[in-house]
Copies of this chain bind each other. A is one copy, B any other.
Amino acid sequence: MSYLIGIADTTFARYNMASDVIQVFNEYHPQIRYIRYTVPGIKDLPVASLILFKKYECDLVIALGMPGSADYDKVCAHEASTGIINVQLKVAKHIIEVFVFETEGKDDEDLKERMKDRAIKHAYNAINLLLYPNKLQEKAGMGLRQGYQNAKPL
C-alpha cells in the first residue's frame, strides 16, 4: 500500500524544514510519496492543508512553521493551530504540526538545530502513523520529545 503525504510550509520561516522532512520521506520511497505546497505564513497553513487533502488527496499532511518572536506571533500560532485541528476534524486525517517558535532558540544555530530535530522526528511520527502505528503504541507514556531531549518516564 502506498501513501501520499502533503508538506505545507511557509516563506516566513527562517529555515527550510521541508528539506529534512523530504529526506526522511525518501527513505520510504515508493511506499511514501509527497507533494509540497508553500504559503506565506502559518495562518495560511490550515487552508493549505485542506487543499492538500481535498485537491491532491493526501493521506496525511505535515505542516511546518516558525512563529516569530513578537507577542502577537503567539496569537497567530494559536489561530493556526486551532485551524489545523479543525481541518483534521473535517477530513478525519492527521496533520502533524511542526511549529518551532523563534524564541525557542538560544541563538540562530540552536534554533536551526531545534527546527531540524523537530522536523525529522515528526517526519518519522508521520511515517509511523501511516505504516507502523504499533511503534507509537509501544512508546506510549514514554516522554518522547521533538526538538528537545526525551523526558524521563515516571
Contacts and interface: CB of A to CB of B under 8 A. Distances in A.
Interface string A37-52: 1111001101100110
A18 B18 CA distance: 34
A51 B74 CA distance: 29
A72 B115 CA distance: 17
Q: Sort chain A's interface into a size bin.
A: 35 or more
B47 A88 contact: yes
Interface of A: 9-19, 36-40, 43-44, 46-47, 50-51, 54-55, 68, 72, 74-83, 85-90, 92-97, 101, 108-109, 111-112, 115, 122, 125, 129, 133, 136-137, 139-146, 151-154
Given A14-B152, A37-B133, 18 more contacts: A12-B145, A16-B153, A18-B140, A40-B146, A43-B85, A43-B97, A46-B88, A47-B89, A47-B94, A47-B95, A50-B89, A50-B92, A55-B92, A68-B151, A75-B81, A82-B82, A85-B86, A86-B89
